[in-house]
Structures are given as structure tokens and as C-alpha cells.
Structure 1
């Protein structure tokens, strides 16, 4: 049901100015799932930042062309000590690894988090994407638009080099299970419109109804 609701929101009301105005108001009246003191910390990593550099974060990316604060692969954070950071944000990174590598990547992220530190993981919300296909099957037509800029491209990131394309899909249950297996406790599913980077005035791939965003703490 959550996937269907997200698909309907993403295909209809999310595209309206009224929805944007409503979300802006909700930012100020609803409580964040992440403690304010965590967001205020200077020890926050934004992994795989790409062009979405977040103020107050240490922005990390493997590609120098994005001019991150630190050039590093997300699989090995050699610059970071054990138990050093209060928060790691990884927006639309985990789906680029196969299951075996997902486990080792999560182990590395857990290593650098303080005990009780927060991990925000954002991935494509496969259940919502599946419902979108049911509701509008033409979105998967085999034509130039869908292969280059449409749903097929979005599912597999076909516009990226082969090494950066998607290798995994997640449901909420499977992502929760993987995080638990790797030493995290899921605290909440995040509403993107009241969490960073949306509240910082930046919209990355996590800021829509087709993104599954979970907040977990290091056990």
C-alpha cells in the first residue's frame, strides 16, 4: 500500500505548486526524525555528493570533477577514523553495489560512525516504481525517450558508465533487513520534505516520492 500511495503522489500531486507550498509549511511544523543536535554537528558526511554539495557537511565523492571536500570511494573511507562521525548521509549510492558489496560498504560506514550515530540511506523505492509501471505501462515503452531520459534509464542508470549503474533493487522490508544484519537499528522512514537536504533548499534524488529514505543508528 505504501508503494501505491507513493506512486500516486509522485505521478500527480507532487507535480503541483500546491504540494510544494504544503511541504514548505510542513517543514516548519513537523518534528524531524533526526535529533537537531545531530544535524548541528560538524561531523557529518555526505557520501557520493555529486553536484549536490550540502552546507555544514563534509562532501565526499570519487569523481574530482564535482569538487568534493574529499575525493574518496564510498567503499573505503580511509580518511576517517573509527567512531568519528555523528551522521552519514548516502543518497542513492547503495543500489550501485551488488549484495555482497552492499554488506562490506555498510560495514565500512558503520566503522566510522560513533556508537549511536545516524546513517541515512536513500535508494530507489522499488515498490513505488513497480506501481508506477502498473498505473502507466507506457512509461516502459522501448523508445528513445525512455531509454535515454525515462523510466528504463532511471531503473538502471543507463546514462552512467557501466561501473556506476544500478545492481540492486530494494523494498522497505529488504533494506530494513539488510541494515539490521549489518549492525544498524532502523529508527524511521524519513519524509523527504522535512529532512535535509530538502530543508536546506537543495533537491537531490532523495527528494521525491519514488525514493525510499531510512534513518538508522549504529548498534
Structure 2
């Protein structure tokens, strides 16, 4: 697959798993028919500098620890055009604390806090776990350190991928999208002009 020239409107879906957004470029380690590039999302050598208008990553940044995250974000910034948008969704630590306080049940927050994902390897499955968590203040500070600006929350209902249920639409109680507590921290940032 050829990469469009910089600034031509490419939309990247990083860590997409089984979710397919028509018209987007999909990158993931898993092997599924809609995956355009089977690769880790922290190295994107097949994407030209400044080629993407939008980079979207839902509940995958937390698989990298805080020190690794800066390198990951530098790579995402590289492929993003000046003025382009980085749209992130990560488990919301503050909301998960509220879930625990309401229920007193650790099991209700273990999945979003620690995650677990199987990656097939020649030696068998390798298990990946979340290495960190974020609240709005810590995510904003990290993205500022990585050179992104204009932090803002985004509403999944107002995106072109709203009809595809992913972790950006995670609620407690599960699937209670009208009355539940959103447990995904959904934020967008801008790559400023250099």
C-alpha cells in the first residue's frame, strides 16, 4: 500500500484490533483482513512525515510506560501534518476510582487498569499488559512535553466513527451509554505548525 503525500488527508487508526473504519489506514500487531500494516504502533516507517491529517488510538497508549510514551508520541507527531489532530482514548483513572468507590469491587476496575492482550508469536502467545494509567492532567502534561497543543475532550458521538463501538465508548455500568459513567478519557491534541 502506498502512503499518500503529506497533507492529503490520511487518517490512521493505530491499535485498531478488529475494528475497521472504512477509508482509514489500520495498523496493529494482530493479523486480520482489514489491517493495512501489521506492526507495532510505536514505529511507523511505512508512513511518510506529515502524511496524516488525523491519528486515532483507542486504549493502546497505556501499553507503553511513561518513558516509552514520549518516544511513541514523537513518532505519531512525525507522521501527523502540522495542524493535524491526535485523537486519543485511554482508561480514565479518575472515573475508575469513582467506580471502585461506588462498588467497593476491585474486579470492576482491574480490566481497564491492567488490561491484557494476546499477541501471537512464533513461540506462542505473548501477553501484554497496561504499563501506566492517566487522568486528564497527566495526559495533558505528557502531550505538552511531546510537543502537542490545544488539549480538549472529544465526544465519541460527534466523530465519524461513532457507529463503531470501541473502548472510547466504555461505560460503567457496561453499555449504559445514556445514564452510565464514561470510564474512557477521550482527548484530542493538535500538532502545531513548526
Cα deviation, 1:75-110, whole Å, max 9, x if unaligned, reads 100101111111100111110000111000000000
In 1, the alpha carbon distance for the partners of 2:131 and 2:33 equals: 23
1:71 to 38, 55, 66: 38
Structure number with higher strand proportion:
2
> Residue 59 of structure 1: CA displacement?
1.2
Q: What is aligned with 2:11?
A: 44
SS in 2 for 1:45: strand
In 1, the alpha carbon distance for the partners of 2:67 and 2:157 equals: 32
> Residue 193 of structure 1: CA displacement?
1.9
Would the aligned equivalents of 1:47 and 1:90 in 2 still touch at CA under 8 Å? yes
Matched, 1:156 2:118: no
> Residue 63 of structure 1: CA displacement?
1.5
Matches within 5 A, 1:29-178: 42-65=9-32, 67-137=34-104, 139-140=105-106, 146=107, 150-158=108-116, 160=118, 163-178=127-142
SS in 2 for 1:206: helix
> Residue 187 of structure 1: CA displacement?
3.8
Matched, 1:215 2:180: no
Cα deviation, 1:51-89, whole Å, max 9, x if unaligned, reads 111112111111224640221210100101111111100
Would the aligned equivalents of 2:91 and 2:112 in 1 still touch at CA under 8 Å? no
Q: Which has the higher contact order (CA 8 A, sep 6+)?
A: 1
Mean CA deviation greater in 105-114 or 154-163: 154-163
Flag structure 2 segments of 5+ consecutive residues without an equivalent: 1-7, 120-125, 171-181
Runs of 4+ in 1 over 3 A off after TM superposition: 158-163
